[in-house]
Structure 1
Amino acid sequence: MESSVAFYTQVFEADTIPYPFPPSPLYDVKWLKFGDGTELHLSQWLNVTTKDTSEVPSEPKYVGFVHLGFMVNSMDAFLKRLMEVSSDYKSGNYKHPIIDRMPNGAKTIEIKDPDGNEIHVIEAMPTNSSTNR
Structure 2
Amino acid sequence: MKTLLSVLLLTMASSAFAQIKVNHIAVHVSNLEKSMNFYETILNLEEIEEPFKDGLHAWYDIGGGAALHLIEVANTPTEISKTNHLCFSMDDMDAFISRLKSKNYPFEDWPGEKGKITTRPDGVRQIYIQDPDGYWLEINDDY
TM norm structure 2: 0.60
Q: Secondary structure at the match of 1:68?
A: strand
1:105 deviates by 0.9
Q: Over aligned residue pairs, what C-alpha RMSD do you find?
A: 2.8
1:15 deviates by 1.4
- Of 30, 38, 51, which residue of structure 1 is paired with 2:58? 30
> For 2:44 and 2:66, how far apart are their aligned partners in 1?
12
> For 1:99 and 1:83, how far apart are their aligned partners in 2?
13
* 1:71/1:122 contact within 8 Å kept: yes
- Of 76, 83, 87, which residue of structure 1 is paired with 2:94? 76
> For 2:79 and 2:138, how far apart are their aligned partners in 1?
20
Residue identity matched to 2:52: F
* Matching residue of 1:44: 72
* Matching residue of 1:66: 84
* Matching residue of 2:123: 105
> For 2:76 and 2:68, how far apart are their aligned partners in 1?
22
14-23 or 99-108, which deviates more: 14-23
> For 1:39 and 1:106, how far apart are their aligned partners in 2?
24
Structure 1 unpaired stretches of 5+: 53-59, 90-94, 125-132
1:83 deviates by 2.3
Structure 1: which 4+ aligned runs deviate by more than 6 Å? none
Residue identity matched to 2:94: D
Structure 2 unpaired stretches of 5+: 1-31, 107-112
Residue identity matched to 1:33: D
Q: Secondary structure at the match of 1:9?
A: helix
Structure with higher Rg: it is 2
TM norm structure 1: 0.63
**What percent identity do the matched residue pairs reach?**
30
- Counting helix residues as a fraction of each chain, which structure ranks higher? 2
